[in-house]
Structure 1
Amino acid sequence: MADKKVQTEKQVSKTDDTPKVTGVGGIFFYSDNPKETQKWYAQNLGIETNDWGSSSFDTRDIDNPDVVNSLQWKAFKKNDKHFSPSKKEFMINYQVQNIEGLIEKLKKNGVTVLDSIVTYDYGKFVHILDKDDNKIELWEPI
């Protein structure tokens, strides 16, 4: 009986479309010299970057092992406008589900939504500010 209950709970979680964060999709930060920073991370921590200056860390979805998730890591040139209007030195990308429902919920809660949802081949994106004016990127993979 207990096995049947666990299986039912897992089946429910796979069909869960609650608007929420499901993981971290990226870590982005400013650097005085991104190329040298990337070189340091490669030499000292083994983090290799690609042509776009980012590294991808792949993981598997615990409830669906065939699904591969990735976390992006990238250094941006200090004072780049990518994190604007935030004045912070970093930006986190959160992987989400039901991005439209989440944006609706955030607007109702008075959260600052900086732009409209944009769709690319690899997912939907939108940016918000948290209560400390940190720019947050929300990403729903395709």
Structure 2
Amino acid sequence: MSDGSATPRVRAIGGVFFRAKDPKALGAWYRDKLGFPVEAWGGASFPWRAVDSENAGYTVWSPFAEDTQYFAPSGKAFMLNLRVDDVDAMLAHLRAQGCEVLDRREDGEYGKFGYVVDPEGTLIELWQQADAAAEDDKPA
């Protein structure tokens, strides 16, 4: 692990993702009523800087289409995205504890992603942010 600790841990909430009947209209409501900085891609990024680090990061808010399969196998209307230092170590830790770790993995410009399902069926996306994504400050 990058921080030298023996037990993997979650660093922060990486984003809130949920199903919506009309993502564009809901995005406009959050923009107009609550001042969310909704961008052309349909979501909003909230930049932040860790107190103990020079690294910048962001938390994402994004409505998905009501019929999205991105949250599968969960049938819930939302998923959690949790930031971790080392997605592989976290997945191994969760697997060793008997958690439902999915085979699904992603590795792209925003970093590495792994997936686990909580006891109530909520999909949790574990996100190890790529250095370039931190420098860019937000998704495109």
| Length-normalised TM-score, structure 1 | 0.84
One-letter amino acid of the counterpart of residue 24, structure 2: K
**1:19 corresponds to:** 8
Q: 1:38 aligns with which of 15, 24, 27?
A: 27
**2:44 corresponds to:** 55
CA distance in 1, matches of 2:89, 2:104: 13
Q: 1:75 aligns with which of 63, 70, 73?
A: 63
CA distance in 1, matches of 2:73, 2:34: 31
| Length-normalised TM-score, structure 2 | 0.85
Unaligned runs of 5+ residues in structure 2 are: 131-140
Q: 1:86 aligns with which of 74, 78, 81?
A: 74
CA distance in 1, matches of 2:65, 2:105: 25
CA distance in 1, matches of 2:103, 2:37: 31
Count the aligned residue pairs.
128
- Residue 95 of structure 2 aligns to a residue whose secondary structure is helix
Q: For 1:90-138, what per-residue CA distance to the aligned partner results, in whole angstroms no more than 9, with x for missing partners?
A: 1110000121111111111111111243221221101110111100100
Q: What is the root-mean-square deviation in Å for CA atoms of aligned residues?
A: 1.5
Whose Rg is larger?
1
One-letter amino acid of the counterpart of residue 50, structure 1: E
CA distance in 2, matches of 1:29, 1:118: 19
Percentage of matched positions with identical amino acids: 34
**2:137 corresponds to:** none
Q: 1:128 aligns with which of 106, 112, 116?
A: 116
Q: For 1:9-34, what per-residue CA distance to the aligned partner results, in whole angstroms no more than 9, with x for missing partners?
A: xxxxx944441100000100111111
Unaligned runs of 5+ residues in structure 1 are: 1-13
**Counterparts in 2 of 1:32 and 1:70: CA distance versus 1, 3 Å:** same
List 4+ stretches of structure 1 deviating above 6 A: none
CA distance in 2, matches of 1:115, 1:72: 24
**2:102 corresponds to:** 114
One-letter amino acid of the counterpart of residue 57, structure 2: N
